[in-house]
Amino acid sequence: MKFSNYFLPTLKNIPADAEIISHQLMIRSGMIKQSSAGIYSWLPLGLRVLKKIEQIVREEQNKAGAIEILMPTIQSADLWIKSGRYEEYGKEMLRIKDRSDREMLYGPTNEELITDIFQSYINSYKDLPKNLYHIQWKFRDEVRPRFGIMRGREFLMKDNYSFDLTKEDAKISYNNMFKAYIKTFLRMGLTPISLRADTGPIGGDLSHEFQILANTGESTLYYDKDLESLDPQNLNPEKLQSYYAAVDDHHNENQCPISKSQLKISKGIEVGHIFYFGTKYSEKLGGYVQNNKGNKIAVHMGSYGIGVSRLVGAIIEAFHDDKGIVWPTQVSPFQVSLINLMPENNKCLDASNKFYSQLINHKIEVLYDDREVSIGKKLSDNDLLGFPYQIIIGSKNLKDNLVEIKVRKENFIEKFNPEDAINFIKTQLNTII
């Protein structure tokens, strides 16, 4: 993509209403635009990141055996009246009336709707277990939407729902998802910390939340330092659940079961939450199957949520410096910035155009900064955008047949001849899973 053809409005100044760094950086790098309180448009760069995160989440769900569907954003109130949550949800639910005065709502979550889909088609224990997910926009009329897309009113969630015959089987589904969640966050370059959690309006008696470490996070976490070095190929959910981890409200120094040398304290951001709630919804909404003796049994359910849009902000909170974003390669909107410092110089133009076609031929995602703006603005904009590698083309280096590569994470610059430059980038990108 050529910058001059793209739609990427960068801003130099920090927007006055953005309190936290990810919100500031997302606005300054032209990723989102607020439409009204807690509701955002995703501009091209932001959308690319959102789609990459969504795809990693999707792949890990599929690998774990969950099946993708798509439920609507607008739901009828009927099922919520049956489950008892229509009243309970209060003002956080956005209620709408259609032209025939029927009560509708913009779904804040989908336990009711999925249980209804399940009960319409599944009647026998032989069809269990089932695990269905979708990635769909939700609406929660939060009292205080803030921090940009981190606590929006409209936000993208991956939510799935498991159906099992017994509590024991449901626990297996729960642990399977637990493991998939850890893998998902590790794949994004994050450090996930799982904690026992309250169940709130979803209900049930077993729940974990997943926080990711970020110095600027809202919660303070106390946890066993072994949780920081998990091997994605070798995850044991039961063992992981036995490690000590607590948010500051729940942590008591005198009752902490692990030694001071083992205890770590860091800031975190909640990006996922999972629940086992037994038969709470299946009993009310007809989620029964016949067991092998012909008896009707209410299925045991769990629900599992990942804040897909929140992750965009959370990743920026975890990975930035004073110049801007420092994207992990796995979710970076582009892999390479190709920066032509002097587009008016024919040699620079030829060399840059050649790099551009070569990168495209190698299927490397490149944003080619061909703009006619000052060198200073180009360099600072590209640092702000934070793609992992920058190829910088200037006339002085070209005279010696050299270009510069900057590795954004280390702010390390090295000179290469053009051929080696492409090979260096290719090798670096191949080492990423």
406 binds ligand P5A (CB under 6 A): no
310 binds ligand P5A (CB under 6 A): yes
Q: Is 223 exposed, middle or buried (0-12, 13-18, 19+ CB in 10 A)?
A: buried
- Nearest Cα neighbor of 183 from 215, 210, 208, 149 is 210
Per-residue contact track with ligand P5A, 215 to 254, x per CB under 6 A? ----------------------------------------
- φ/ψ region of 119 (left if φ > 0, alpha if ψ in -120 to 50, else beta) reads alpha
Looking at 118, 133, 163, 304, which residue binds ligand P5A (CB under 6 A)? Answer: 304
- φ/ψ region of 179 (left if φ > 0, alpha if ψ in -120 to 50, else beta) reads alpha
378 binds ligand P5A (CB under 6 A): no
Distance separating alpha carbons of residues 60 and 58, to the nearest angstrom: 6
Considering the complex, state which of residue 145 and residue 237 has its C-beta at the smaller distance from ligand P5A. 145
Looking at 48, 273, 280, 320, which residue binds ligand P5A (CB under 6 A)? Answer: 273
Answer whether 332's CB lies under 8 Å from 387's CB. yes
270 binds ligand P5A (CB under 6 A): yes
The residues, any chain, with a CB within 8 Å of residue 265's CB and separated by 6 or more, are 220, 221, 222
109 binds ligand P5A (CB under 6 A): yes
280 binds ligand P5A (CB under 6 A): no
155 binds ligand P5A (CB under 6 A): yes
- Nearest Cα neighbor of 334 from 53, 30, 49, 50 is 49
Considering the complex, state which of residue 152 and residue 237 has its C-beta at the smaller distance from ligand P5A. 152
Considering the complex, state which of residue 187 and residue 406 has its C-beta at the smaller distance from ligand P5A. 187
What are the backbone angles phi and psi of residue 281, rounded to the nearest 5°?
A: -90, -35
Looking at 148, 237, 307, 388, which residue binds ligand P5A (CB under 6 A)? Answer: 307
Q: Which stretch binds ligand P5A (CB under 6 A): 167-175, 288-296, 306-314, 386-394?
A: 306-314
Q: Which stretch binds ligand P5A (CB under 6 A): 280-288, 300-308, 395-403, 408-416?
A: 300-308
Distance separating alpha carbons of residues 58 and 63, to the nearest angstrom: 9
142 binds ligand P5A (CB under 6 A): yes
How many positions of this chain bind ligand P5A (CB under 6 A)? 20
Considering the complex, state which of residue 310 and residue 406 has its C-beta at the smaller distance from ligand P5A. 310
Answer whether 383's CB lies under 8 Å from 324's CB. yes
Looking at 105, 202, 230, 240, which residue binds ligand P5A (CB under 6 A)? Answer: 202
**Helices marked H in 293-430 — which ranges?**
308-318, 346-361, 375-385, 395-399, 418-430
- φ/ψ region of 286 (left if φ > 0, alpha if ψ in -120 to 50, else beta) reads left
By Cβ distance, which residue is nearest to ligand P5A? 307
Token pair 């939700």: residue: 138
Q: Which stretch binds ligand P5A (CB under 6 A): 78-86, 213-221, 249-257, 264-272?
A: 264-272
Looking at 271, 301, 325, 367, which residue binds ligand P5A (CB under 6 A)? Answer: 271
Distance separating alpha carbons of residues 412 and 406, to the nearest angstrom: 6
The residues that bridge with 236 in the sheet, in sequence order, are none
Q: Which stretch binds ligand P5A (CB under 6 A): 75-83, 150-158, 244-252, 375-383?
A: 150-158
Considering the complex, state which of residue 3 and residue 210 has its C-beta at the smaller distance from ligand P5A. 210
CA dihedral 26→312→225→256, nearest 10 degrees, is 90
Pairing mode of beta strands 336-340, 366-369: parallel
**Smallest distance from the beta carbon of 311 to ligand P5A, in angstroms?**
7
Q: Which stretch binds ligand P5A (CB under 6 A): 243-251, 289-297, 303-311, 353-361?
A: 303-311
Looking at 30, 107, 148, 152, which residue binds ligand P5A (CB under 6 A)? Answer: 152
Per residue, the 3-state secondary structure of 367-405, as one string, reads EEECCCCCHHHHHHHHHHHCCCEEEEECHHHHHCCCEEE
- Nearest Cα neighbor of 310 from 107, 187, 200, 153 is 153
272 binds ligand P5A (CB under 6 A): yes
Burial 110-141 (b: 16+ CB within 10 A, else e): bbbbbbbbbbeebeebeebbbbbbbbbebbbb
Looking at 23, 130, 140, 408, which residue binds ligand P5A (CB under 6 A)? Answer: 140
Considering the complex, state which of residue 43 and residue 156 has its C-beta at the smaller distance from ligand P5A. 156
Radius of gyration of the chain (CA): 24
159 binds ligand P5A (CB under 6 A): yes
367 binds ligand P5A (CB under 6 A): no
Binding site for ligand P5A (CB under 6 A): 109, 140, 142, 151-152, 155, 157, 159, 202, 270-273, 275, 303-305, 307, 309-310
